[in-house]
Structure 1
Amino acid sequence: MKPYRSLLFVPGHKRSWIDKALASEADAIIIDLEDSVPEPDKALARTNAREALDTHSGDKGILIRPNALDTIHFGSDIAETTHGNLTGFLLPKLFSRDDVVRFDALVTAAEIAYGLSRGSVELIPSLETAASISKVDEILAGPRVGGVMAAAAKDADVSREVGFSWTAEGTETLYLRSKVVLAARAAGLRSIVLGLWQEVSNIDGLRRFATANNGLGYTGQVLIHPTHAPVANESYGLSSAMRTYYEGLVEAFEEGQRQGHGAVSYRGDHIDLAHANHARQALAFAGSN
């Protein structure tokens, strides 16, 4: 999955909200069939998601969060919303790699039923249980895994599971967040997202939170309000100044190579192949958004 900077949650039973989310500045949306949808509206949420996928065009990604494996809904969620326009399923409440395999089997059956290429729909584990965080390496080695979401939200499933008391500074989740980034990079994943900032009106807090997590290695953030998308896009994106810096760095290094040098000085810094490759990757990621 491409490294989306901003992924906006929207409850699936609110059809007009889905349309508004698709029109927002978020790089992708997540149509929720799980916690934000009341029990009587689960079927409606699936119908709305399918209709949105049927009419979707453009580059905005669409993910769907199905209900967990301990519910009666997960099978219908996968069967009814697997679609050629679907980027992937955000998998909730995982406990082991076996849970990823179970979802993979359902998606494969749905792809066959709809005439889609096997493996076209990706799976994005959401790490919101103590067991899933502990077993992150094996979970990310599961089938179809195209990205990962680390949960570090205030008073959510993960805080109850792990037992931490949330702070805006995030010291209590630093190990958790770092562990996920390292495992994701080791698995070769490009999309490593974090969820989420719950203080809707605290934009300065959101910006500090996003900037810090981008510095830790996260490529994007799950959002709960469309006004947060521009901040996330800026915080997880590449500023014009940094783009210019990286472009100049690559140019300087390549010129040095043409002159037979393995390293050069650029703006006072020692630059070699590792620095050039880092700059190239940053520019490639920025170019995909």
Structure 2
Amino acid sequence: MTMKPYRSMLFVPGHKGAWADKGVNSGTDALILDLEDSVPPVEKVAARDVVAETIDRLTGQGVRPDLWVRVNPEETGLMNGDLEAVVRPGLAGLFLAKIYNETDVVRLDAVLSHIERLRGLDDGHVKLLACFETAEAMGSCEKIVAASGRMVSALGATGPNADAGRSLGIEFTLEGLETLYMRSRVNLALRQIGLIHPMAGVWQDLANLDGLRTFCEDSRRLGYRGLVAIHPSHVAVANEVYGPDPEEVATARRLIAVYNEAEAAGSSAVDFEGQHIDIAHVKTAQALVDLAEAIEAGS
């Protein structure tokens, strides 16, 4: 199962339905309606109905962002009720908090298949994105992302002073050397099974947009392709950094055209604007063009 090329996914507290409209207006590629940490414990059950109504309303309006939900972890006893409320037409997927091992994913997959059949949805309709917040989960990230065909992406070792930092005992820095190993490992775990759109995040310094840009650029160089954001002001930066540069796309199209002409003349390697290129470079250029076209089609 593939994931749309989200440049940004924006968290919205699930119990504040009107805030979802602000999220839509931010230009994000996907909304994550949150039932977990951003919802007070006394409002978690009532928030389910708000999220269900928000999904129905925004789906009926034909909004651009895809709609995801972060459900409460199984250990809270709230997950099954969350799933019964939010698995419905218009739900693109689930953002999974506090997944510990592959068994958690296998059990969830079975429950989702049951609910999908009850609701008349195609099997596999609901996609999964795993968030690795514990040492146990990060140590099993390869098994977790491969545990279900629903899995499309993951992120981990993120968030200063939150679950991941506490579990790993690390101190976060802007340079990110303390998380480089885990972020690289999550990227590799996804890409070795053909999942090519890992998500970075989160950036907690709400007003520091320059720091956010650096964080996104560093993550992009590491292989990440989008940001899970916690504030609407972060969306524009993420969309810019993770979106293909128009000049690079134009160059890629020229490269493909030059190679195709050379190939038609019997050559499999050619000089392109002073650079030696062959079919490997063409594949990279085509992937960039495909990404740009996919983002444009979703606009």
TM-score normalised by structure 1 residue count: 0.97
Other-structure match for 1:35: 37
| Deviations, residues 47-106 of structure 1 (Å, cap 9, x unaligned) | 111111112223311110000010121001111100221110011111111011121122
Indicate the larger mover: 15-24 or 4-13.
15-24
Distance 2:35 2:269 in 1: 52
Q: Secondary structure at the match of 1:265?
A: strand
**Residues paired across the two proteins, number:** 289
Other-structure match for 2:284: 278
Q: Offset of 1:191 from its aligned partner? A: 2.4
1:123-272 equivalences in 2 (<5 Å): 123-143=128-148, 144-272=150-278
Distance 1:150 1:194 in 2: 8
Q: 86, 106, 112: which is aligned to 1:81?
A: 86
Distance 1:201 1:265 in 2: 46
- For structure 1, the 5+ residue unaligned runs are none
Q: Offset of 1:258 from its aligned partner? A: 1.0
1:11-160 equivalences in 2 (<5 Å): 11-55=13-57, 56=59, 57-143=62-148, 144-160=150-166
Q: Does the aligned pair in 2 maintain the 1:31–1:62 contact within 8 Å?
A: yes
Q: Offset of 1:282 from its aligned partner? A: 1.6
Amino acid at match of 1:254: N
Q: Secondary structure at the match of 1:41?
A: helix
Q: Offset of 1:130 from its aligned partner? A: 1.1
Q: Does the aligned pair in 1 maintain the 2:255–2:272 contact within 8 Å?
A: yes
Distance 2:165 2:95 in 1: 19
Once the two structures are aligned, what percentage of the paired residues are identical? 40
Provide the aligned C-alpha RMSD in A: 1.1
Distance 1:12 1:260 in 2: 59
Q: Does the aligned pair in 1 maintain the 2:157–2:182 contact within 8 Å?
A: no
- For structure 2, the 5+ residue unaligned runs are none
Q: Does the aligned pair in 2 maintain the 1:3–1:192 contact within 8 Å?
A: no
Distance 1:202 1:148 in 2: 25
Q: Offset of 1:190 from its aligned partner? A: 3.0
Q: Offset of 1:17 from its aligned partner? A: 0.8
Distance 1:194 1:49 in 2: 24
Distance 1:82 1:10 in 2: 18
Q: Secondary structure at the match of 1:288?
A: helix
Amino acid at match of 2:259: F
Q: Secondary structure at the match of 2:156?
A: strand
State yes or no: 1:8 paired with 2:10: yes
Q: Secondary structure at the match of 2:110?
A: helix
Indicate the larger mover: 56-65 or 269-278.
56-65
| Deviations, residues 224-256 of structure 1 (Å, cap 9, x unaligned) | 111111100010110111111111111111111
Q: Offset of 1:201 from its aligned partner? A: 0.7
Runs of 4+ that moved beyond 6 A: none
Distance 1:43 1:189 in 2: 34
Distance 1:87 1:276 in 2: 32
Distance 2:51 2:126 in 1: 15
Q: Secondary structure at the match of 2:122?
A: coil
